[in-house]
Amino acid sequence: MADEKAPLEPPPSYDDAAQPTQNASGPPGPPRPRLPLPLELPALNMIRGKRVILASASPRRRQLLAQIGLTDLEIIPSTVPEDKSKSLAPFEYVLETAQQKALNVYEAQIDSPKGEPALVLAADTVVSTSMGQILEKPRNEKEHMAMLKLLRDGNGGWHKVYTAVVAVVPLESAMDPGYATETHVEETDVKFDSSVTDELLLSYVRTREGADKAGGYGIQGVGSILVEKIDGTFDNVVGLPMRATLQVIEKVLVSPDVPEMVDRVL
């Protein structure tokens, strides 16, 4: 007979959840908003309290993963150079780069004193012009300005953002290669406002907000003033499509092709 689980306490009422939390100590100040309860899903529950590694130093990806309850992450960026050929199609380029990141970190952590990771997540994002030219992070102010002009002036301001998500988990058996992977590539079309002036572009470049971002702008920040519209998922442009990421996690942990993973959930 299966072990009986203690019933979970009911969540707060909607009236309670709508009330902001008060500061625990110190002088009275503005109340803090109440955070939502974590998602209760089998795939997420089975990795809570285990080693979950984000193979990326991106604070934006870490913040997005926290939204679905993955807050206790180890941040271990890949050490492999991102030097895939730009002759690849953007779809292939981001996928191969993200796969390389995930496997590099997973293989480095297999024999860690902390134990084998339960899940390694990696992602890569690039911006592509309408002609398929891959744009990553600008290396200096001149290149940054030229990049934004290219996005504004090409194809009526339309360009594409691709993010590849890769999840790696260990297999309990010795079956080669010893791990299972799931991947996804998300594509979003973004249109810059063609009336944006060079003066505004230069002013934005000098904020340095886009200096560490593919394509040279951050849609979630000041860079939103450059964008007229998008067709696709917003968080993909930020750097991690959350709906697809959750699906990748669920598939790799509960895959019908990997019996060991099914046994863990059941």
Least confident among 14-28, 61-75, 190-204: 14-28
Tokens of 147: 């990049």
Q: pLDDT-derived band of residue 132, with 50, 70 and 90 as boundaries?
A: very high
Q: Which helix (H) or strand (E) holds 238?
A: helix 234-238
Residue 174 bridge partners (DSSP): none
Within 8 A by CB and 6+ apart from 81, the residues are: none
C-beta of residue 62 within 8 angstroms of C-beta of residue 75: yes
Match 């993955």 to its residue by tokens.
70
pLDDT in tens, 154-206: 999 999 999 999 999 998 765 667 899 999 999 999 999 999 999 999 999 99
C-beta of residue 90 within 8 angstroms of C-beta of residue 57: no
Q: What is the pTM of this model?
A: 0.82
State residue 174's pLDDT score.
57
15 pLDDT higher than 90:
no
124 given a catalytic annotation: yes
Question: Mean per-residue pLDDT for 92-105?
Answer: 96
96 pLDDT higher than 60:
yes
CATH number attached to the domain at 39-265: 3.90.950.10
Q: For 86-192, list the strands marked E by DSSP.
A: 119-128, 134-135, 158-170, 179-192
pLDDT in tens, 204-257: 999 999 999 999 999 999 999 999 999 999 999 999 999 999 999 999 997 644
Within 8 A by CB and 6+ apart from 230, the residues are: 188, 189, 190, 191, 219, 237
| DSSP per-residue codes, 58-112 | -HHHHHHHHTTT--S-EE----S-----TTS-HHHHHHHHHHHHHHHHHHHHTT-
pLDDT mean across residues, the chain: 86
State residue 71's pLDDT score.
87
Tokens of 43: 């795939």
Domain range summary for the chain, segments of one domain joined by +: 39-265
Q: What percent of the chain has pLDDT over 70?
A: 81
CB atoms within 10 A of CB 79: 10
State residue 136's pLDDT score.
86
State residue 35's pLDDT score.
64
Tokens of 177: 């290669």
State residue 187's pLDDT score.
97
117 pLDDT higher than 90:
yes
Given 15, 72, 124, 231, the catalytic residue: 124
